Amino acid sequence: MKTLMRNIILLAAMVAAFGTSTSVAQTLRDANYNYVGKIAPNGTVRNSEYGAVGFFNSDGTIANAKNKTVGRIDGKMQIFDKDSKRIGYVTSDGSVFDDDNKPLGKIDIKSGKVTNNDGETLGYANGISIQRVAAYYFFDFFKK
């Protein structure tokens, strides 16, 4: 559960670091740079088989494939679980922390590379708003 929580917070951080309003789908890749999914301009999250696995609503809530809320990210880059409990936050330099201020990782805003606190690469998310990258690490949309 702790690893899941860390991954969720890192994903949310990734989303926050890559604010963009482009109208093209945004691609997510794993640590080996393999394609794992994309986020469509309307907020639909799709896996590598093009199946819908989640959705980002304009109010910051994140829903799973069954349209059930799994979390939320507010405008101050705070990350909340489905019960509205704060589980972490992201700073403007791309650093990700849990709710106890423990560092979890970092997002390189220029390259899109996301690392954990040990410097291990978790994935890549170029050009994706921070509210959307959360699905990759925080809500396990792309786990098989």
Domains of the chain: residue spans and CATH: 2-137 (2.40.160)
- pLDDT at position 100 is 92
pLDDT band for 18, please (50, 70, 90 cuts).
very low
Could you give the C-alpha distances from 23 to 20, 39, 40, 52, 114, in angstroms and in order? 9, 10, 8, 18, 23
pLDDT digits (tens, 9 = 90+) for 66-112: 989 988 888 888 888 899 999 888 887 888 888 899 988 887 877 88
Percent of the chain predicted with pLDDT > 70: 71
pLDDT value at 21 more than 50: no
- pLDDT at position 133 is 62
Question: What predicted TM-score, i.e. pTM, was given to this entire model?
Answer: 0.70
Which own/partner contact pairs does 59-64 have at CB distance under 8 Å and 24+ positions apart?
60/131, 62/131, 62/134, 62/135, 62/139, 64/139, 64/141
How far apart (Å, rounded) are the C-alpha atoms in residues 78 and 97?
A: 10
Contact 14, 20 (CB under 8 A): no
pLDDT value at 10 more than 70: no
* Most confident of the following: 18-27, 106-115, 135-144: 106-115
Span of 4-13, 56-65, 68-77, 78-87 with lowest mean pLDDT = 4-13
**Residue 3 φ then ψ, to 5°:** -65, -40
Cα-Cα-Cα-Cα torsion 53, 18, 30, 78, nearest 10 degrees, comes to: -70
Question: Could you tell me which residue, 41 or 66, shows the higher pLDDT?
Answer: 66
- pLDDT at position 17 is 44
